[in-house]
Chain A
C-alpha cells in the first residue's frame, strides 16, 4: 500500500514538473507574441497538414496574435463540431458544398469585403461560384480536381485518360478509391456524362450498377492512407484529389496524375469565419496575411496544392506552375462540375447506395 502511494506521488510530481515546464515555455512564447488576456488570440480549425507551420510562426511574430490551431479530417466532422458550438473558432476551411450547407444553417459570418485587402489577388475564374455567389461568406484557400493517379511501372499513360478506362478488365484488383460517397458516385456519374449533383433516381441507380461492375478492379477503399500506399507501390492506380496526388508524386517519382478527359469534379477549399467567432479583427488579419502573394506561394509550395492566387502563382517556380495537371488551362476544365449541397434525403440515398456498393464483394 505504501509503495502504491509512493508510486502515485512520483507520477504526480513528474507530471506537475512537466506541466510547469510547458507553462514556462508557453509564457516565454506568449511574451514574444500576445497572450490570452490581451485578447490577441486566433483559433484556427483546419484540415490536418494543410498549412506551412512556418507561416503560423511568422503570423504570430508579425501581429503579436497567438494562434491556437486544431485540425479535422472531414467536412462532416468539422460541421458537427461547429454546429455544437462548444469551441468558438475564428477561421475554418470547409469545401464548396459544405460552405453552402453552413450558409443554409446560418453558421457563417458574412465577410466585409472592405476589410479584405488581398481580394484582388484571386484568379477571377475561381471567384463567384454557385456555392457562394459573390463570395459573400467565403474566399478560396486551395483548389483542385478529382482525378486518377497511376504508377508508370504498372500502367501506361494512354490507358488511363478517361473515367471509363478504370473499367478495363486488365486493372483487376489494381485500383484504390477514396472513401467518400460523393467522389465515388461522382466519377461513376461523370463516366456516363451525368451531373455529379444529380438527384434523379434512375441516374443514381445506373451509377450504382456501373460501380458494381467496377468492384473486381477495386483493391481497397480508404482515406488518407492511400497516399502512403501509393507512395509505397502498394497499388497501381488511385482515384483521389489533385492535391493528394501532388503529395504522393513528391514521394514517388513513378506516380503521375491525370485529369480525366470528358470532365471531372472541380473542388475548392475555402476560408470562412464562423458566426460565433470571437476574434473577428484577428480573423480578417489572418485571411489577408495568408493571401499575401509571398505567403500564399510559400504555403502552396509547402502543401503542394494549387493556389487560387494569381500573384502567388507567378512567384512559384516554373517547374510547378507548368504542370498542366495541377494548373490546368481553361480548356481542360471547362466541362468540370462543382459539388452543390444535397438535401439530407439525397445525401442519405447517395450513402445508402454507396454502402451497398462497398458490401458487394468479388
Chain B
C-alpha cells in the first residue's frame, strides 16, 4: 500500500501542476474583465460575435478536413505496412520526419511551394503555367496533413498489427470474400486505432496557428490566431482564456464522440 502511494506522487504532482492548476487558472481568468472584475461578458462577446463564431467554424472545419485526409491516406498505408516483411523498419521511415522540429519542416515547405519552388518546376515540366500555391487553402491543408499523418498511421498500424492472423484466415476459410473480411473482421478490430488516430489529429488541428501564418499567409484564421493576439497584443487575457475554455470543451466533445464503445453484451 505504501509502495502504491509512492508511485502515485509523481503522477499526481504532474496532474496538479500541469493539468489541474492551468485549467482552473484559465477558467478563473475567463470570468474576469480587463479591469479584473467578475463578469460573463467574455462569453457573451464570444458567443455574440459573428467573427468568433466564424473562426470557431473555421477551426472545426479545417481540423475536420485535415483529419479526413490523413485518415484516407493512413488507413491503406497502415494496412499495407502491416503485411510487409520488415514492417517495423518501414514504419520507422514514416515516423522519422516527426523527429525534426515542426517549424523547420514548415519553412522547408515554403521553399517547395513558392513560385519558383520545386513543385512549380515540376508543373512547368509537365507543360502547365506555374501556379500560386503558397497562401492557399489547399497548401495549408496539405502541410497540416503532412505534419499530422504519422500520428494517424501509428495507432492504426498498431491495432491492425495486433489482429490475430488466424481470425483473418478463419474468415477466409468460412467463405468470406476479401471485402467481407475487411468489412467484418479487420475494420471492427482496428476501430480503436482509428479512434485514437482521430483524437491525435483532430484535437491538435483545432488550434494550429504558426502554419496558418507561414503557409496560409493569415488567409486562414483559426482560434489559435485569436488566442495569440489576445495574450500578446490586446492583453485581454479574459477573452483569450474564454477561447481556450471553448477549445477545451471542443476537445472534450471530440473525446466523448470517439471514446471506446463499451461492449454491448447481452443481458
Question: Whole-angstrom distance between the alpha carbons of A76 and B231 in the complex?
Answer: 9
Contact flag A232-B218 (CB < 8 Å), given A77-B232, A220-B135, A344-B234: no
Q: Is the CB of A80 within 8 A of B232?
A: yes
Among listed A138-146, A185-193, A251-259, A349-357, interface-contacting one: A349-357
A10 at the interface (CB under 8 A from B): no
Residues of A within 8 A of B74 (CB): none
Which of A222, A232, A345, A347 is the one whose CB lies under 8 Å from B116?
A: A232
B115 at the interface (CB under 8 A from A): yes
Q: Closest CB of chain A to B212's CB: distance in Å?
A: 10
Contact flag A348-B236 (CB < 8 Å), given A220-B134, A221-B218, A223-B213: yes
A35 at the interface (CB under 8 A from B): no
Q: Is the CB of A351 within 8 A of B229?
A: yes
> Which A residues between 89 and 147 are near B, CB-CB below 8 angstroms?
none
Question: Whole-angstrom distance between the alpha carbons of A204 and B152 in the complex?
Answer: 46
Residues of B within 8 A of A348 (CB): 34, 234, 236
B255 at the interface (CB under 8 A from A): no
Residues of B within 8 A of A77 (CB): 232
Q: Closest CB of chain A to B243's CB: distance in Å?
A: 11
Residues of A within 8 A of B51 (CB): 352, 355-356, 359
Residues of B within 8 A of A223 (CB): 213
Question: Whole-angstrom distance between the alpha carbons of A208 and B214 in the complex?
Answer: 24
B118 at the interface (CB under 8 A from A): no
Residues of A within 8 A of B217 (CB): 176, 219-222
Q: Is the CB of A220 within 8 A of B232?
A: no
Which of B114, B115, B132, B218 is the one whose CB lies under 8 Å from A179?
A: B218
Q: Is the CB of B221 within 8 A of A358?
A: yes
Chain A interface, DSSP helix/strand/loop, else mixed: helix
Q: Closest CB of chain B to A211's CB: distance in Å?
A: 13
Interface residue count on the A side (C-beta < 8 Å): 30
Question: Whole-angstrom distance between the alpha carbons of A291 and B267 in the complex?
Answer: 86
B226 at the interface (CB under 8 A from A): yes
Chain B residue at minimum C-beta to C-beta distance from A228: B110
Residues of A within 8 A of B213 (CB): 179, 221-223, 225
> Which B residues between 39 and 63 are near A, CB-CB below 8 angstroms?
51, 54-55
Question: Whole-angstrom distance between the alpha carbons of A84 and B229 in the complex?
Answer: 18
A63 at the interface (CB under 8 A from B): no
Chain B interface, DSSP helix/strand/loop, else mixed: loop
Residues of A within 8 A of B236 (CB): 344, 348
> Which B residues between 105 and 148 are near A, CB-CB below 8 angstroms?
110, 114-116, 132, 134-135
A74 at the interface (CB under 8 A from B): yes
Q: Closest CB of chain B to A237's CB: distance in Å?
A: 14
Q: Closest CB of chain A to B116's CB: distance in Å?
A: 7
Question: Whole-angstrom distance between the alpha carbons of A234 and B114 in the complex?
Answer: 7
Question: Whole-angstrom distance between the alpha carbons of A176 and B132 in the complex?
Answer: 14
Q: Is the CB of B233 within 8 A of A232?
A: no
Question: Whole-angstrom distance between the alpha carbons of A179 and B229 in the complex?
Answer: 11
A70 at the interface (CB under 8 A from B): no
Binary contact readout B197-213 vs A (1 if CB under 8 angstroms, 0 otherwise): 00000000000000001
Q: Is the CB of A345 within 8 A of B34?
A: yes
Residues of A within 8 A of B233 (CB): 74, 76, 181, 347, 351
Q: Closest CB of chain A to B213's CB: distance in Å?
A: 6
Question: Whole-angstrom distance between the alpha carbons of A80 and B234 in the complex?
Answer: 11
A2 at the interface (CB under 8 A from B): no
Residues of B within 8 A of A347 (CB): 233-235
Residues of A within 8 A of B34 (CB): 344-345, 348
Residues of A within 8 A of B226 (CB): 355
Q: Is the CB of A220 within 8 A of B115?
A: no
Q: Is the CB of B218 within 8 A of A220?
A: yes
A173 at the interface (CB under 8 A from B): yes
Q: Is the CB of A220 within 8 A of B219?
A: yes
Contact flag A76-B232 (CB < 8 Å), given A220-B219, A359-B54, A359-B221: yes
Residues of B within 8 A of A361 (CB): 219
Residues of B within 8 A of A219 (CB): 135, 217
Q: Closest CB of chain A to B115's CB: distance in Å?
A: 5
Known: A220-B218, A344-B235, A355-B226. 6 other contacts (CB 8 A): A222-B213, A222-B214, A347-B233, A347-B234, A347-B235, A352-B234
22 contacts between A and B (CB under 8 A): A74-B232, A77-B232, A173-B132, A181-B233, A220-B134, A220-B217, A220-B219, A223-B213, A225-B110, A229-B114, A232-B115, A234-B114, A234-B115, A344-B34, A347-B234, A347-B235, A348-B234, A352-B51, A352-B234, A355-B51, A358-B225, A359-B51
Residues of A within 8 A of B (CB): 74, 76-77, 80, 173, 176, 179, 181, 219-223, 225, 228-229, 232-234, 344-345, 347-348, 351-352, 355-356, 358-359, 361
